[in-house]
Amino acid sequence: MTNGYWLWYPGDFELYHRMRQDFSRVERGFGWPAFWKSEGFRNRVAFRRKYALARETRFCVHSRAVGHVLVGEKKYPFGQVICCPAGEVSISVHAAQIEAFPCVYIEGEAVRSDEGWYVEDYAQPPVPAGCSRYFTSPAQDPARWDYSEKTCLPVKTERVDGGVLYQFETELTAVLWARCGRERLEGMVIYCGESREEALDREHCYYSWRPDPDTGKTPRCAVRFAFIPGGEVELAAVHQYVDIPVRAKFACGDPVLDKIWSVAEHTFRLCSGIFFIDGVKRDRWIWSGDAYQSLFVNRYLMADPDIERRTLLALRGNDPMTRHINTIMDYSLLWVLGVKEHFDDYGDRDFLELVYPKVCSLLEFCGKSLDGRGFLTPREGDWVFIDWADLDKDGPLGAEQMLLCACWEAAARLSQALGRDGSPYRARRERLAEQIERCYWDGELGAYVDSFTSGRRHVSRQTNLLAVRCGVADAAKTELILKNVIDNPAVPPITTPYFNFFQLDVLAACGRLDQVMEALRGYWGGMLDRGAVTFWEEFDPAVTGPEQYDMYGDKFGKSLCHAWAASPIYLLGRYFAGLRRSGEGFVLEPRLEYLPRLDCTLPIGAGDGFVHIRWDGGTLRVETNREGGVLLAGGRRYDLPAGKALVLGEAEL
Amino acid sequence: MTNGYWLWYPGDFELYHRMRQDFSRVERGFGWPAFWKSEGFRNRVAFRRKYALARETRFCVHSRAVGHVLVGEKKYPFGQVICCPAGEVSISVHAAQIEAFPCVYIEGEAVRSDEGWYVEDYAQPPVPAGCSRYFTSPAQDPARWDYSEKTCLPVKTERVDGGVLYQFETELTAVLWARCGRERLEGMVIYCGESREEALDREHCYYSWRPDPDTGKTPRCAVRFAFIPGGEVELAAVHQYVDIPVRAKFACGDPVLDKIWSVAEHTFRLCSGIFFIDGVKRDRWIWSGDAYQSLFVNRYLMADPDIERRTLLALRGNDPMTRHINTIMDYSLLWVLGVKEHFDDYGDRDFLELVYPKVCSLLEFCGKSLDGRGFLTPREGDWVFIDWADLDKDGPLGAEQMLLCACWEAAARLSQALGRDGSPYRARRERLAEQIERCYWDGELGAYVDSFTSGRRHVSRQTNLLAVRCGVADAAKTELILKNVIDNPAVPPITTPYFNFFQLDVLAACGRLDQVMEALRGYWGGMLDRGAVTFWEEFDPAVTGPEQYDMYGDKFGKSLCHAWAASPIYLLGRYFAGLRRSGEGFVLEPRLEYLPRLDCTLPIGAGDGFVHIRWDGGTLRVETNREGGVLLAGGRRYDLPAGKALVLGEAEL
């Protein structure tokens, strides 16, 4: 029995595990499930397939669901070996389950749960069944994720405050395991912390556990420091993670940049589990805006399309769409842009077929909230977020329209990729772009305003950065925006790391690499100076001492391991190593002037595609195993043949 | 702690238990979950309430969900006593659960889970929380129904076929309990049957179980006979039921009619559990058409509004509606008519407020499938059922339009009952009625045809019965229909008990009580002659021997305890005892000429309302505890004062 998968209705696996993820936040003893509409999985499905069997064959269906196997006209229970004669036969597997999504594993030689099965939910036409490369054995239960594990011992113990503080080498997502007798376990409490201060603050630390008296183990949580009152015990941390191989390597010889890369890598891997989550201590939720940025980091680090698919499916939920993703209007739009990014990166047509109807229905849902000009407006209860910033939210917000404009364009391109007519979407893009110019562009200020209804002519970086990034602003207007907004100290600065991603991306795309490098060294380098082993949700160099862990009015509210803080990987990979995709191929344009030297491998697409750049300060050597690559260096353009290194000497650079 | 309820999002309890019900069908060892779209419960809800507390108070929230209690700005875990100071306070309880619907029990003096809590699901505005009188203790789990139990011993044992056949007094829905040692339990199989023949047929009987070796118990199933190979054991049946009190009594001195009533009563009680189900052996599913008929029986037997509410909520599912109920177009329409019946019976305005949006969205869903004339047409995959009969289903089916016509009328009346404008619905009814007359009425045939598009002018009883029953046919046309269709032997007879309900109801309403009485004695009396202890899904007097249990090509496929077979209770109560509701009151018009004497109590509305009729062949005595009753007898009309018996002598009758 080989190559079998557990099968389910596509998306159900993701919706189920999404709930487990979104309901997993714990804070000082109480649960804090995510405050948005839950999207349930299906409870009753039927898997169907027709076979033309050359000879008699046997198979067995494994499932925890209630149901039966229908072979022709005859029904069989699950778990029984079924003998199926040669010839044409229709097989359907009927499965129902309440507490988890129904799924089946079909074990056999000819009849088995490989690709080719369709599934229906009695509401929509049948679709190809969903599966995961992580669930290929009949003994597994797809409702329980089998994490990879690594046991870590403390690198330091310290007697303090009437107990022992255990320090692990870095932050982990771990089950703590007190290996001691039952008497010692009686009444034991383990206080955890991302920082030393947090673990020692028994009142305010986020996670404190009474280990299971039988096993000595706690639930899985974010931990770097653990404090246990009383004498020392043998404590281990069983780090649990989803094993997604890192396909990139970055070493440039500048210790700060190299360290930034490696800390960002660790940060990102911790935040990349079953899904892209925001942070490992908090919120442990799947936010569409955060996930959107993670797509860019993933592309340059693991280039794992599976986690992207899981995250995109989990976020979007069922049709018809009735609420914005995470309740946030712009997060719905970023989801559409994320689908486009994913398709551009991996060209996965099957996945696009699966989500394309969801793209359309999302835009249809948005379509119900358009005003006469085609501007997206919130319905009651919708959250117009964009950023934690003082935007003029009177009437339709300009920044939202920029994103919508990019969504119409994305939908047009995705339609075309599936051989469908993209022109209706493109027409909407054109009309919207015209209306944006008419309403939001302020010729006198040389910038887009947030609101055209309030009369306040408020200019923000957010709206203008999105205008550039979403392709609304042309080259001339982009210049004006750089001058009148980005370089204008009178326009309030970006203060959130979330939006700083967009700002740095725009700056870099506009060639302002000095500013980007300055941010890398100052902001991320600044966290390293504080001893960061993972990058933080937010960092203000001016704040020191215990206050640096404070956020949202909560003493240890700040997450010290946050996905959006991993963006240096994207910035370094995209703009300094200089790799970008281009149609079916890629362009490599390394900016060697910013790096002492470079030994860097970056992934290309799914699978094992890579490009390896080696520069010793003199000679540049580029090697790839993918066709379609182009190197731009020394003012010239070189084709990069797969499997054969291209070497340029100093004279050519 | 008194008067507390478990609280949930209204409808979630019903959707969860509906799935448990619809997934409970077992047939010869395999599960057979209902083949329609499952409607999931919500997984994430928030309960909210504001209090103005006169003094400090304490309370505790019990829940199996993940979540917390928010009192003002402060969060508390579940299970902890919370002290709340005097003054105004907002309390919200956040709860999330995957495997069952989230629900909470709030225990306290001032703050507790009584009426007044609202709940939201982050998709719709808050609504009053749902609860059930069956779940009032914090120790309960609303995801598990606590059945009432009664242990029954066999009334007969018989050595046969190398084993022992145990016969219970009547059919039960029971856990079988073999009270013997573990050695005897090893390998024991218990074969169950609704009939002796079924229990003795080890291959074809529906249910056969290996009792749990620890407890000696089997799962709950329909059983009257049980066969166990080997020597005799002590066997008991633990009958599990929902305790819904019977509020009616019927004794007329005619042994056949009295027996029909009591067997119908037992049949109906077995099929009235958490929901109205079709049968106890099979399907154990909740069908809207079957449930619609159960409403009429319930009204005259238990008059329990709760089971109606649970059933109506379970059937309808979530908004927006995407598929017809049970996939059947007419079953959606019967649901709307059921809501009207329920409201007319119990006047429950709170429930109507809850389901009214679902009535509107169902009709909106139907509205998408109307053709230019306003006729309802099926979408792909919709099942146009009406009856197992040879109807001319070319184009829109006439019978469906009759039901739709009644739905528009029902929606108008329900709208008005809530103080809303019913005129748009009434206008649709008028337009549709006109189109029906124009297209389906065949003046030459003096009847409605099934289809006006095929040109075949096919006349069926079904379409014409519904035309009368739905108020489409006026008095003159009703006369024509009786003559040209009902009394016309060339029109194929009704052959299903399902549709026979509609036929007998129409016949009785048209005053043809002789025919109804004939059916009672022939059809139901015929089953009694076969020794029926419950009434069957179907009965053909011409079929005897083992074949009488055969149905759907399955040797024991026929359900011997089927809800729709309990309609004699409705027919006897409504047309012979002669009780009908009339606005806020009721009219009693007993047809004493059909009964030797009468001692009959019938329920009136919810609560303890009743009317008691006693007739000894000479004097008629009527007593009620409800105002608004009217007696029609001897060609005269008498007001029935509550609490004071009205007695009429022979001279007045």
Same domain, B34 and B110: yes
- The minimal CB distance from A35 to the residues B36, B122, B323 is found for B122
- Domain end among B193, B213, B241: B241
Chain B residues in contact with A42 by the CB 8 A cut-off are 38, 40
Residues 54-73 of A with CB under 8 A from B: 65-69
List B residues 376-435 in contact with A (Cβ-Cβ < 8 A). none
Predicted pLDDT at A1: 39
Side chain identity at B324, as an amino acid letter? H
CA distance A39 to B98: 10
| pLDDT for residue A653 | 87
A107, A153: one domain:
no
Kindly state whether residues B80 and B39 are assigned to the same domain.
yes
Partner-chain contact A31 B122, CB within 8 Å: no
The residue count of chain A comes to 653
Same domain, B95 and B159: no
Minimum CA–CA partner of A78 in chain B: B30
B506 in any annotated domain? no
Disruptive mutation site among A30, A68, A78 for chain B (greatest number of B CBs within 10 Å): A30
Whether B68 sits inside 8 A of A31 (CB atoms) is yes
Phi then psi for B35, rounded to 5 degrees?
-95, 50
- Domain membership of residue B16 (yes or no) is yes
From A80's Cα to the closest Cα of chain B, the distance in A is 10
> Maximum CA pair distance of chain B?
80
Query: Are A183 and A212 in a shared domain?
Result: yes
Asked if A41's CB is within 8 angstroms of B33's CB, the reply is: no
Q: What is the arithmetic mean of pLDDT over A213-225?
A: 97
Q: Which residue range is the domain that position B610 belongs to?
A: 577-652
Partner A contacted by B33 (CB < 8 A): yes
B99 touches chain A (CB under 8 A): yes
* Mean pLDDT (chain A, rounded): 96
Q: How far is CA A644 from the centre of its chain?
A: 33
Contacts of A67 in chain B (CB under 8 A): 30-33
CB < 8 Å to A46, chain B: 35
Q: How far is B93 from chain A (nearest CA, A)?
A: 11
How far away is chain B from the Cα of A277, in angstroms, using its nearest Cα?
19
Q: Within chain A, what is the greatest distance between any pair of CA atoms?
A: 80
**Token duo for residue B294:** 């159960």
Which of B21, B35, B38 to mutate to probe the A interface, most A CBs <10 Å? B38
A44 interaction partners in chain B (CB closer than 8 Å): 19, 22-23, 33-38
CA-based nearest residue to A600, from A261, A244, A243: A261
Q: pLDDT at position B465, please?
A: 98
The pLDDT value given to residue B3: 67
Decide: A610 and A602 in contact? Cβ < 8 Å: yes
Q: Please report the ipTM that was assigned to this predicted complex.
A: 0.94
**Shortest Cα distance from B63 to chain A (angstroms)?**
12
Could you give the 3-state DSSP secondary structure of residue B327? helix
Q: Rounded to a whole number, what is the distance in Å from the CA of B96 to chain A's nearest CA?
A: 6
Tokens matching residue B563: 């809800």
Contact list, B104 vs chain A (CB under 8 Å):
none
d(CA A407, CA A363): 8
Q: C-alpha B407: how far from its chain's center?
A: 19
Helix (H) or strand (E) holding B196: helix B196-200
Structure-token match 């000679």, residue found: A619
Which residues have C-beta within 8 Å of that of residue B587, sequence separation ≥ 6?
B579, B580, B581, B629, B630, B631, B632
Residue among B31, B68, B100 whose CB faces A30 most closely = B68
Task: DSSP letter for B483, please.
Answer: I
At which residue do the structure tokens 């109560």 appear?
A: B573
**Joined tokens for residue A169:** 């080498």
Q: Tell me the CATH number at B596.
A: 2.60.420
Q: Which residues contact B479 (CB under 8 A, 6 or more apart)?
A: none
Residues 6+ apart with CB under 8 A from B643: B624, B625
pLDDT at A567: 97
In a domain, B535, yes or no: no
Closest alpha carbon within chain A to B29: A77
* Alpha carbon of A411: minimum distance to chain B alpha carbons (Å): 25
CATH label of the domain that carries residue B98? 2.60.120.260
Decide if A418 is inside a domain. Answer: no
Render the burial of A448-475: b for 16+ CB within 10 Å, e for the rest. bbbbbeeeeebbbbbbbbbbbbbebbee
Question: Does residue A429 sit within a domain?
Answer: no
Residue B511 CB: number of other CB atoms within 10 A? 12
Cα dihedral angle (A367, A371, A375, A381), rounded to 10 degrees?
-70
Ranges of residues in chain B with a pLDDT under 50 are 1
- Pairwise CB contact (< 8 Å): A36 & B122: yes
Residue A3 has pLDDT above 80, yes or no: no
Report the residue from B16, B97, B123 with minimal CB separation from A323.
Answer: B123
In a domain, A24, yes or no: yes
B16 vs A contacts (CB less than 8 Å): 98
Place of tokens 């066709």: A627
Q: How far apart are the C-alpha atoms of B333 and B330, rounded to whole Å? A: 5
Looking at residues A499-516, what average pLDDT do you find? Answer: 97
Give chain B positions within 8 Å (CB) of A19: 43-44, 96, 98
Cα distance between residue B349 and residue B204, in whole Å: 48
Q: Is the pLDDT of residue A564 over 50?
A: yes
Q: Do B98 and A100 touch (CB under 8 A)?
A: yes
Averaged pLDDT for residues A358-385: 97
Measured from the Cβ of residue A567, the count of other Cβ atoms closer than 10 Å reads 28
Same domain assignment for residues A81 and A31: yes
Q: Does a cis peptide bond (omega within 30 degrees of 0) precede residue A283?
A: yes
Residue A2: is its pLDDT beyond 60?
Answer: no
Which residues in chain B touch residue A98, judged by CB atoms under 8 angstroms apart? 16, 19-20, 23, 99-100
Residue with tokens 């509004």: B305
DSSP string, A538-591: ---TT--GGGGG-BTTBTT-S-SSBGGGGTHHHHIIIIIS-EEEETTEEEE---
Spatial strand order of the sheet with B127-128 comes to B74-76, B66-71, B87-96, B44-53, B118-120, B127-128
Smallest Cα distance from A551 to chain B, Å: 16
Report how far residue A405's alpha carbon sits from residue A597's, in angstroms, rounded to the nearest whole number.
Answer: 40
B46 touches chain A (CB under 8 A): yes
Look at A98 and B42 and tell me if their CB atoms are within 8 Å: no
Which of chain B's residues have a Cβ under 8 Å away from the Cβ of A29?
Answer: 77
Rounded-to-integer distance, Cα A429 and Cα A420, Å: 17
CA B383/CA B59 separation, integer angstroms = 51
CB A148 within 8 A of CB A243: yes
* Residue that has been written with the tokens 């909407």 in this structure: A428
Cβ within 8 Å, pair A66-B121:
no
Distance CA(B544)–CA(B535), nearest Å, equals 16
Question: Is there a single domain that holds both residue B176 and residue B94?
Answer: no
- Cα of B196 to nearest chain A Cα, Å: 25
Cβ B116 vs Cβ B49: under 8 Å? yes
Cβ–Cβ contacts within 10 Å for residue B289, how many? 24
Helix and strand element counts for chain B (H, E): 16, 29
d(CA B229, CA A318): 51
Beta carbons of B35 and A94 less than 8 Å apart = yes
Residue A123 and residue B37 in contact, taking contact as beta carbons nearer than 8 Å: yes
In this complex, do B123 and A37 lie within 8 Å of one another by their Cβ atoms?
A: yes
The reply to whether A123 and A31 lie within a common domain is yes
* CA nearest neighbour of A189 among A208, A162, A161, A206: A208
Q: Which two tokens stand for residue B8?
A: 């949930």
* Separation of alpha carbons B205 and B195, rounded Å: 10
Kindly report whether the peptide bond that precedes residue A529 is cis, defined as omega within 30 degrees of 0: no
CA distance A45 to chain B (A): 8
From CA A435, how far away is CA A357, in angstroms rounded? 27
A203 plus A121 within the same structural domain: no
| Amino acid found at B9 | Y
Per-residue exposure over A259-285, b if at least 16 CB sit within 10 Å of its own CB, e if not: ebbebbbbbbbbbbbbbbbbbbbbbbb
Torsion sign (Cα): B313, B314, B315, B320: positive
Question: Which of A163, A151, A158, A153 minimizes the C-alpha distance to A188?
Answer: A163
Count Cβ–Cβ pairs < 8 Å, chain A vs chain B.
140
**Continuous H helices in A324-422:** 329-346, 349-367, 398-417
pLDDT in tens, A158-217: 999 999 999 999 999 999 999 999 999 999 999 999 999 999 999 999 999 999 999 999
- Last residue of a domain, which of B212, B241, B270? B241
Whether residues B23 and A122 touch (CB distance < 8 A) is answered with no
B439: in domain: no
User: Residue A483 above 90 pLDDT?
Assistant: yes
Asked whether the beta carbons of residue B122 and residue A77 sit closer than 8 angstroms, the reply is: no
Residues B153 and B93 in one domain: no
Chain A neighbours among B 298-337 (CB < 8 Å)?
320, 322-323, 327
Q: Look at residue A400 and tell me if it is in a domain.
A: no
- Tell whether B285 lies on the interface with A, counting CB pairs under 8 A: no
* Domain-ending residue, one of B209, B241, B273: B241
Closest CA–CA distance from residue B543 to any residue of chain A (Å): 27
Asked if A115 and A44 sit in the same domain, the reply is: yes
* Residue A13 sits in the same domain as residue A123: yes
Q: Do B16 and A98 touch (CB under 8 A)?
A: yes
User: Would you call B611 helix, strand, or coil by DSSP?
Assistant: strand
Confidence at residue A543, expressed as pLDDT on a 0 to 100 scale:
94
Classified as helix, coil or strand, A175 is: strand
pTM for the whole thing?
0.96
Q: What's the number of domains chain B is made of?
A: 3
Q: Give B86→chain A minimum CA distance, Å.
A: 24
Record: contact B100-A96, CB cut-off 8 A: no
